[in-house]
Amino acid sequence: MKSKVRLFTPGPVPMYPSTLEIGARQTPYFRNEAFSKVVLECEAMLLDTLNAPAGSRALFLGASGTGAMEAAAANLVAPGEKVAAVVGGGFGARFAQIARFYGAEVTEITVGDDNLSDTAPLEAHREASVLLLNAHETSVGLLYDVASVGKFCREHGQLFVVDAISMYVTDPLDMEGWGIDAVILSSQKGLALPPGLSAVLLSPRAQRRLTPSRSYYFDLGRALEDGARGQTPFTPPVTILLQLHDRLKGIVRDGIGNEQRRAAALAERFREGIAPLPLAFYRRHMPNAMTALSPTDGRSARELVAALETRYGMVLTPNGGALADTVFRVGHMGAMTPADIDALLDALSDYYGEKR
């Protein structure tokens, strides 16, 4: 390993010193009032930062983000129900697949380089009673216009379920203002915590729409009941919840807008810095969280990612499948500084033989 390895991956992301300190401590017992208080405060702070409607709830699950997507499908979608899923990349395809797995009749809204601020592509899917969207399609770095999609869902009485896993914290999200019924979060992206904790936020409307759970472990009705007293049906990732509590206190204290401005400044610094290099943005509508790029000089993206790691200790993210040679991704989440961005720009310039 290089003495200093810098992570620019969209999960895990660089973590803050206080997160690391909490991770080094003994995990405490958790079926007590002290821990219930931590969970209830985490819930209140999450709902606050997302401008959740009054009466909304946040439920914590011991699972990666996909577990929370599965929990949503197993508790909000009835067998045979018509579901529309926005598919702009791998995570949209996964959401569609999960809903299908649970017996929904899924139609896919296939999206290219478009953020759906014009909702015309949704028109053919107005019969669906649920719409699934990954606010940031992380596989290609595409940020959707969640507000416009939410308005469409309201007009057509659709339950709007948003996977915000890779844009929460770094990019604005407004449950009440944008008409979102359920939000899915996970610990290892913008929250800058270790992987293993995810959350499902439910508006009052989503709570009323809960179906009998078709998953034993991911039973959101039971989680709602236990969560009312700050507990979870099963052992939660106790240490990650303590890290979340610490992180949310910081976010609430400084204001989540500050986090977003910081991420936006890092993204802008990076995007301006690569201007002289043979790299093109892969999608027009980019989040603060991440930049997806394509080499324009014919060299392979996969080779670039490998070289950046072995030569410079910079860990970028390769794409898989058909995009392996044409797209790679650079995260701007977590405890990243302008100096990290500059070090990456220096490495990229050196790789291309450009002076900076």
By C-beta, is 192 or 347 nearer to ligand PLP? 192
Min separation Cβ 208 and ligand PLP, Å: 25
Site track for ligand PLP across 17-56, x = CB under 6 A: ----------------------------------------
**CA–CA separation, 337 vs 343, rounded Å?**
10
Cα three-residue angle 98-100-106, rounded to 5 degrees: 115
Between strands 142-143 and 290-295, the pairing is: unpaired
Question: Which residue among 18, 36, 66, 211 contacts ligand PLP (CB under 6 A)?
Answer: 66
Answer yes or no: are the C-beta atoms of 296 and 325 closer than 8 Å.
Answer: no
Part in contact with ligand PLP (CB under 6 A); list of ranges 42-50, 64-72, 317-325, 328-336 = 64-72
The rounded distance, in Å, linking the Cα atoms of 349 and 271 is 13
Task: Report the alpha-carbon distance of residue 32 to residue 132 in Å, rounded.
Answer: 36
- Tell me the per-residue interface mask from 159 to 198 with ligand PLP, x by CB under 6 A, - otherwise: ----x-xx-------------------x------------
Q: Are strands 314-315 and 6-7 parallel, antiparallel or unpaired?
A: parallel
Q: By Cβ distance, which residue is nearest to ligand PLP?
A: 65
Q: Closest approach of Cβ 64 to ligand PLP, in Å?
A: 3
Q: From 183, 211, 205, 184, select the one nearest 81 (Cα to Cα).
A: 211
Closer by beta carbon to ligand PLP, 65 or else 334: 65
**Choice between 166 and 231, CB closer to ligand PLP:** 166
Q: How far is the CB of 65 from ligand PLP (least distance, A)?
A: 3
Which of 91, 152, 282, 328 forms a contact with ligand PLP (CB under 6 A)?
91
Q: Which of 65, 190, 227, 287 binds ligand PLP (CB under 6 A)?
A: 65
Residue 195's alpha-carbon distances to 10, 79, 132, 143, in angstroms, are 12, 30, 23, 22
88 vs 233, which CB is nearer to ligand PLP? 88
Q: Is 199 in the site for ligand PLP (CB under 6 A)?
A: no
Q: How far is the CB of 45 from ligand PLP (least distance, A)?
A: 21
Nearest distance from C-beta of residue 174 to ligand PLP, angstroms: 18
Closest separation between CB of residue 236 and ligand PLP, Å? 16
Considering only 61-69, 105-113, 123-131, 169-177, which stretch makes contact with ligand PLP by CB under 6 A? 61-69
Interface region with ligand PLP, contact rule CB under 6 A, candidates 33-41, 62-70, 110-118, 202-210: 62-70
Kindly state the number of chain residues that form the binding site for ligand PLP, as judged by CB under 6 A: 11
Q: How far apart, in Å, are the Cα atoms of 191 and each of 17, 39, 237, 279, 324?
A: 13, 16, 15, 28, 27
Residue with Cβ nearer ligand PLP (98 or 277) = 98
Q: Which stretch binds ligand PLP (CB under 6 A): 15-23, 58-66, 268-276, 339-347?
A: 58-66
- Does residue number 134 form part of the binding site for ligand PLP (CB under 6 A)? yes
Q: Rounded to whole angstroms, how far apart are CA atoms 141 and 75?
A: 29
Residues 135-154 that bind ligand PLP (CB under 6 A): 138
Binding residues for ligand PLP (CB under 6 A): 11, 64-66, 91, 134, 138, 163, 165-166, 186
